[in-house]
Amino acid sequence: MAEESVKLLGYWASPFALRVHWALKLKGILYEYIEEELPNKSTLLLRYNPVHKKIPVLVHNNKPLAESLLIIEYIDEVWKQNPLLPEDPYERAKARFWVKFFDEKCASEIMAAFSSKGKEQEKAAIARENLKTLESALQGKPFFGGETIGFLDIAVGWIGIWARIVEEIVDVNLIDAETMPLLTDWSKKFLEVPIIKAFIPPWDKLLEHNKGFHKILTVAST
Amino acid sequence: MEEVKLHGFWPSPFSHRVIWALKLKGVEYEYIEEDFPNKSELLLKYNPVHKKIPVLVHGGKPIAESLVILEYIEETWPHNPLLPTDAYHKAIARFWIQFGQGKDYFRSFFQESGEEQEKAAKEILEMLKILEEQGLGDKKFFGGDAINLVDIAHGWLPLWFETIQEAVGVKLMEPTTFPRLHAWMLNFVQVDVIKQNLPDRQKLFAHMKNLRDKFVAPTIV
């Protein structure tokens, strides 16, 4: 078997890089992590992702791939141990449906609450509504993947951290324990899973970083 | 063989993606035309989250979101593959399927005017340049010698995007500025399955023009 080389170009504060760390670790894959010193982008990054010039980028045996979700699907296909996506095509379709819903209707609304000065409460209300819809995908199970975590959990799990960051900086309510008890529970349980917990960026550092980010975003929107 | 049904809407490029994939796989299905803006009870039952078409129903189980449906079709009927079988090339194909999808600038270009529309037009041009140079390159189709899911995903550019440009009165895709994409569009609509499954151009233009007029109509405040 030829020597396998796996590298991940990422950024400590990126939830998208986090998704890929989680996937690689769950599979027990050994990889080299390269931290990009954003906003300065390395020549390596620009070479590996000329289209979007963004992290994360997975480089497997010198072949680069960008876009976190398709990277995870790739990882799942190449390394068969501990499958992340369900085997059944219908269940896979449901998982992909919910990731899309989450990205377009939850994450984007949370981002909107974070970045649009004056419309925070309005956007947060929409985000809450959509998070409530997302909760239904749990179908009463502890994780989206069922009894153990799977693709959908690692795709959306970062929201447990970032929603709290946004709640604190912008003073909104997002993951509401009263109206979405199951989602709240899931979020807590997910972030306690040892492999998941090991990669969560330090809270204070992440909060400071996002406070700075918030200033930039809200100045731009006035 | 379990029953396959497709809920669609004749002017929708999204339901056409599914039709093309099913036809290319030779899958028999029943097509149900939704009578927008009236949404059938079945549609609301099958897609309670978005209440939109297309919805594929296989053996009574519904799947929504055209790109999700395409992957489902590919996995359920693996003959005549519409994605590379090699994991890396499949991932690259997925990258290009997703590229430029669901972007606000297309909505803006269609619905807005003036500065907002100009900004959207600029973003579309940038996106198309990358699609042409890095996605398509020198290939006849995104899939190589034959069309695949990447071609299907961008298959709205001929006809749909063309009629939108006409309805808006702004031509963005000139053959001289996008020679390869232009050749691709001509080749794409000549593929039998595509050719036989396109909406009527006049009818589509009228539909787009009607929508466009509504968007730009001055509203009485």
| Cross-strand pairs, B61 | B58
| Cross-strand pairs, B58 | B4, B61
Residues in B closer than 8 angstroms to A90, CB to CB, are 58, 61, 63, 72
pLDDT, one tens digit per residue, over A25-71 is 999 999 999 999 999 999 999 999 999 999 999 999 999 999 999 99
B126 interfacial to chain A (CB closer than 8 Å): no
Average pLDDT, chain A: 95
Predicted pLDDT of residue B102: 83
Residues in B closer than 8 angstroms to A77, CB to CB, are 87, 90
CB atoms closer than 10 angstroms to residue B62: 21
Residue by residue, DSSP assigns A55-118 as S-EEEETTEEEESHHHHHHHHHHH--SS-SS-SSHHHHHHHHHHHHHIIIIIIHHHHHHHHSTT
Q: How far are the Cα atoms of A23, B40, B132 from residue B125, in angstroms, in the given order?
A: 35, 38, 10
Kindly indicate the confidence band of residue A219, based on its pLDDT and cuts at 50, 70 and 90: confident
Inter-chain contact A74–B90, Cβ cutoff 8 Å? Answer: yes
CB-CB contact of B96 with B150 (8 Å): yes
Query: What is the pTM assigned to this prediction?
Result: 0.96
Residue in B61, B63, B94 closest to A70 by CB: B94
The token pair at A194 is 């040892």
Q: How many contacts does A have with B, using Cβ atoms within 8 A? A: 58
Inter-chain contact B95–A96, Cβ cutoff 8 Å? Answer: no
pLDDT, one tens digit per residue, over B102-156 is 889 999 999 999 999 999 999 999 999 999 999 999 999 999 999 999 999 999 9
CB-CB contact of A53 with A46 (8 Å): yes
Angle at Cα A172 formed by Cα A20 and Cα A12, nearest 5°? Answer: 25
CB-CB contact of B75 with B59 (8 Å): no
Residue in B68, B99, B130 closest to A100 by CB: B68
Helix (H) or strand (E) holding A187: helix A181-192
Residue in A70, A93, A133 closest to B63 by CB: A93
CB-CB contact of A159 with A114 (8 Å): no
> Using omega within 30 degrees of 0 as the cis cutoff, is the peptide bond preceding A39 cis?
yes
- ipTM > 0.85, yes or no: yes
Residue stretches of chain B with pLDDT short of 70 = 220-221
Predicted pLDDT of residue A139: 93
Q: Which of B139, B88, B144, B87 is nearest to A64 (CA)?
A: B88
Chain B nearest CA to A59, separation (Å):
11
Chain B nearest CA to A73, separation (Å):
8
A186-199 average pLDDT score: 96
Inter-chain contact B90–A77, Cβ cutoff 8 Å? Answer: yes
Residue in A60, A67, A74 closest to B98 by CB: A67
A74 interfacial to chain B (CB closer than 8 Å): yes
Q: What ranges in chain B are assigned the alpha helix state H?
A: 13-25, 41-46, 66-76, 87-98, 104-111, 114-130, 149-153, 162-168, 179-190, 192-195, 201-216
Residue by residue, DSSP assigns B64-114 as ESHHHHHHHHHHHS-SS-SS-SSHHHHHHHHHHHHTTTT-HHHHHHHH--H
- Does residue B216 sit in helix, strand or coil? helix
Q: A131-135, A194-198, A214-218, B51-55: which has the minimum mean pLDDT?
A: A214-218
Inter-chain contact B134–A71, Cβ cutoff 8 Å? Answer: no
Inter-chain contact B94–A97, Cβ cutoff 8 Å? Answer: no
Predicted pLDDT of residue A221: 56
Which of A76, A84, A97 has the highest number of chain B CBs within 10 A, making it the mutation to test binding with B? A97
Instruction: Count how many residues are written for chain A.
Output: 222
Which of A46, A49, A51 has the highest number of chain B CBs within 10 A, making it the mutation to test binding with B? A51
